[in-house]
Amino acid sequence: MVSLAEEKRCSLGEIALMYESTLLKLPEKSIIKEMEHRYNIMRESVFQGLKENPPSMRLLHPCAGKVYNSEKEGKTAIGGLHTRAAARAMAALHINCGMGIVCAAPTGGSAGVIPGVLVTLAEEKNLSLERTIYSLLAAGGIGLIVAERATFAAEVAGCQVEIGAATAMASAAVVEAAGGSPQQAIDAAAISFQNTMGSVCDLVQGTVEIPCHTRNATGASSAFVCADLILGGYENPVSLDETIDAVYSTGKMLPAELRCTSLGGLAVTPSAKSMKPIK
């Protein structure tokens, strides 16, 4: 993927667009239009989740709007773009868990990370719609490699291939938005994965609320950090391909209790087991 992008002197998002156009036998304009449609769904899920009364969930009270407004009012310790991206990611997952419409990116339980990052780039970095779409395509390029070499199923390899994958994809999107090279984009994705490797899926009471909401939030924040590390000069020594292989291998080593069964981890703590559904 990188070699082809370098050969054609294009970005990761641009080579991903060429791939989709060739694969689906559709003109690039059609692909861009569809990606714009999906981004609009992501954007709307963020805005709906930040509203004062978003859809109710099973275990959690929606709080993304509260976090977002607290940051704006200077009530958080540090705040800034990372906190706002985290709040936006959580907002999208509020909509997911409230039975609203989201764009699985790459899954429902990880549907907050990429929207949180892209909406933040568009809203706060004045990223044009065109560049936003190419950034989303770059994220998809990373997702393609994950799909080819591993899985997106937490049942198979834990949370690292759901929220972990979303964070890696979002890291590449940030590099694309910043004008980085295809190699830098995949290196950002690689170090992102290297820092989520081994993460378990231990959803409380079998629903993607706890700890999924805060993991989506921190994933969105982390995407900017990983992108900055690579753009700032960190040299990644382990390739994305090898990293994904290691993630997949590690995931399959996890016991069944830590792979989406709610039989281990946070799911079996007394607090988690005693929680009552919100009425």
Give helix 113-124 / helix 81-97 axis angle, nearest 10°: 130
pLDDT of 173 reads 98
What pLDDT score was predicted for residue 38?
97
Identify which of 216, 197, 212, 198 has the alpha carbon closest to the alpha carbon of residue 262. Answer: 212
**Exposure of 74 by Cβ count < 10 A (0-12 exposed, 13-18 middle, 19+ buried)?**
exposed
DSSP string, the chain: -HHHHHHTT--HHHHHHHHHHHHHT--HHHHHHHHHHHHHHHHHHHHHHHSSSPPP-SS----HHHHHHHHHTT-SSS-SHHHHHHHHHHHHHHHHHTT-----SS-GGGTTHHHHHHHHHHHHS---HHHHHHHHHHHHHHHHHHHHHS-S-HHHH-GGGTHHHHHHHHHHHHHHHTT--HHHHHHHHHHHHHTTTT--B--GGGSTTTTHHHHHHHHHHHHHHHHHHHHHT----S-HHHHHHHHHHHHHHS-GGGBSSSSSGGGGSHHHHH-----
Say if residues 111 and 105 touch (Cβ distance below 8 Å): yes
Q: Following CA atoms 222, 225, 230, 235 in sequence, which dihedral angle do they give, to the nearest 10 degrees?
A: -80
Measured CA to CA in angstroms, residue 144 lies from 20, 62, 94, 168 at distances of: 10, 32, 26, 12
Nearest to 172 by CA among 151, 192, 145: 192
Question: How many Cβ atoms sit within 10 Å of the Cβ of residue 92?
Answer: 34
Distances (CA, A) of 79 to 5, 50, 229, 234: 36, 17, 20, 25
* CA triple 22-42-110, angle to 5 deg: 90
> What is the pLDDT at residue 231?
98
Tell me the two tokens of residue 229.
């590390």
Give the per-residue pLDDT at 213: 98
| Residuewise pLDDT in 10s, the chain (279 residues) | 999 999 999 999 999 999 999 999 999 999 999 999 999 999 999 999 999 889 999 999 999 999 999 999 999 999 999 999 999 999 999 999 999 999 999 999 999 999 999 999 999 999 999 999 999 999 999 999 999 999 999 999 999 999 999 999 999 999 999 999 999 999 999 999 999 999 999 999 999 999 999 999 999 999 999 999 999 999 999 999 999 999 999 999 999 999 999 999 999 999 999 999 997
pTM of this prediction exceeds 0.75? yes
Domain ranges within the chain, ordered by starting residue = 2-274
CA distance 200 to 202: 6
- Among 189, 192, 197, 199, residue whose Cα is nearest residue 222: 192
